[in-house]
Amino acid sequence: MIREFSSSEVWFLVQAVRWTVLLALLAFLGGGLVGLAVAILRISKARLPRAIAIVYIKVFQGTPLLMQLYLVYFGINLFGIETNAWVAAALGLTFYSSAFLGEIWRGCIQAIPRTQWDGARALALGYLPGLRLVILPQALRIAIPPTVGFMVQILKGTSLASIIGFTELTRAAQMVNNATFRPFIVYALVALLYFLLCWPLSLVSQRLERRLDPGRLTPAKLAAQ
């Protein structure tokens, strides 16, 4: 029995957006916490923590997100725990996001001039207090544009959770398509919904980046050259 593609199907898809957004927020939160730890380990002066962070980043940036989701999904099962799509999706996306955020933030921390570290030491601040009170607040400013940009990657990445059975926007689309068999309109609408989520973030990220870098060549400046 093929159903008509009607406003109730559209509404079903629009409502599925909240699971995509919620999963993305969980992944951003988890990825942010772990990512901060990864970034701090990555800039450590001791060799072992640095090596651990480098391997972590290499592994999670060098393998497909889909494989990470599969491994978490089937891995949880091995411990005799009933696999829950929520846990698997949130955990898998946390690993993925933390590797990228960790590397982005490492770059931001290392972009702060060494003299700031010297200044912190001159104020008798230890390593971690200096990092927290002097370096991170400055690094945060330059970290915002790429971080917002990466949120777009996380939002898009949540679509892969549909493959392990997590019902978010893409999985909702598959369900609607199976019932109505109108793939073109269904997936075009879903693409539009993702676009409406991601585009504003992309624009904000670009605008913030431009504001941080006033020396950047704009077309107007190029013409004046």
Q: Which residues bind other proteins (CB under 8 A)?
A: 58-59, 62-68, 70-71, 74-75, 77-81, 103, 152, 156-160, 162-163, 170, 173-174, 177, 182-184, 187-188, 190-191, 194-195, 198-199, 202, 217, 222, 225
């019932």: which residue's tokens? 179
94 vs 130, beta carbon nearer other proteins: 94
129 vs 183, beta carbon nearer other proteins: 183
The tokens describing 222, both together, are 């190029």
CA distance 148 to 197: 12
Minimum CB distance to other proteins, residue 163 (Å): 6
11 vs 74, beta carbon nearer other proteins: 74
Q: Is the dihedral of CA 66, 68, 70, 73 positive or negative?
A: negative
Q: How many residues does the chain have?
A: 225
By C-alpha distance, which of 97, 98, 73, 201 is closest to 157?
97
Minimum CB distance to other proteins, residue 173 (Å): 8
Minimum CB distance to other proteins, residue 170 (Å): 6
Minimum CB distance to other proteins, residue 175 (Å): 13
Identify residue 74 by its one-letter amino acid code: F
Contact residues for 163 (Cβ-Cβ < 8 A; gap 6+): 66, 69
């651990």: which residue's tokens? 52
Minimum CB distance to other proteins, residue 129 (Å): 30
Identify residue 171 by its one-letter amino acid code: R
With beta carbons less than 8 A apart as the criterion, state whether 213 and 174 touch: no
**Cα 67 → chain centroid:** 17
Contact residues for 25 (Cβ-Cβ < 8 A; gap 6+): none
123 vs 178, beta carbon nearer other proteins: 178
131 vs 173, beta carbon nearer other proteins: 173
Minimum CB distance to other proteins, residue 88 (Å): 12
With beta carbons less than 8 A apart as the criterion, state whether 101 and 147 touch: yes
